[in-house]
Amino acid sequence: MKWYKILDIQFTDQPFITKVKAGGKSICLVGFKGNIYALSSICPHAGADLSEGICVQGKIVCPFHRYTYDLETGKRPK
């Protein structure tokens, strides 16, 4: 695994969602309950930009069709 240093992120306890570029890819960063999660900004369902979604109870909600993905596992809830 290759690590990338992300600049311009000011970490606080406040929830946030933002998009950054790392390694030529668009990455969605989600700050939630003192942790930062990094995931592809492209929704695996139909390609929406997850960084335009919302974070609800540890899950990111896609802005297009409202699929949710767990921030810890990346999986959809059953």
Q: How far is the CB of 65 from ligand FES (least distance, A)?
A: 3
State which of residues 20, 52, 64, 70 lies at the interface with ligand FES (CB under 6 A).
64
Residue 26, both tokens: 């668009």
Q: Please name every residue paired with 38 in a beta bridge, in sequence order, or none if there are none.
A: 29
State which of residues 27, 30, 62, 71 lies at the interface with ligand FES (CB under 6 A).
62
Pick left, alpha or beta for residue 22 (phi over 0 → left; psi -120 to 50 → alpha; otherwise beta). beta
Instruction: State the residues that interact with ligand FES by CB under 6 A.
Output: 43, 45-48, 62, 64-65, 67
